Copies of this chain bind each other. A is one copy, B any other.
Amino acid sequence: MIKERNTKQKTVILSAVRSAKIHPTAEQVHAMVLADMPNISLGTVYRNLNHMAELGQIRRISVTNSPDRFDGDLSPHHHICCSECGEFNDRFDLPYDKSLDTLAEKKTGYKITRHETVFYGLCKNCKKSIKN
């Protein structure tokens, strides 16, 4: 059994992800915590973000054509991504259908823990400016 240590780095990284209104990339988290700890390294940020994601304290999200993003909001919710400018957020409210997990479990034999839905489309701005 590994005993885990509390370090200032872990504290500031976790609170940065939790307080972020955007879904920050590792690099963005690094920029945020540099204010509190000018010497913290990007490698440490990655190591801790990965660790926290494994412990289930935060969530890691993969998006095409973008570095991975991290989300401190653990409640089940959906995400939306603009195919044009890459804007990525969860500022909308749609039901999370937990029964889908049970259903998928029966169909596949997997032990399902969760599902993630990402909507793709054009955000308001890009919708306007494209018009082709």
User: Which residues of A pack against B, CB within 8 Å?
Assistant: 60-64, 68, 78, 80, 82-83, 91-94, 100-101, 103-105, 107-124, 127
Q: With the chains together, A83 CA to B105 CA distance in Å?
A: 14
Q: How far is the CA of A83 from the CA of B114 in the complex (A)?
A: 11
The residue that A107 contacts in the complex, of B62, B94, B101, B112, with Cβ under 8 A, is: B94
- Asked if A119 contacts B109 (CB within 8 A), the reply is no
| Contact of A110 with B116 in the complex, beta carbons under 8 Å | no
Within the complex, what minimum Cβ distance (angstroms) separates A24 from chain B? 16
Please tell me if the beta carbons of A121 and B113 are within 8 angstroms of each other in the complex: yes
* Closest CB pairs A-B (n = 9): A112-B121, A92-B107, A62-B62, A110-B121, A115-B119, A111-B122, A117-B117, A62-B64, A92-B108
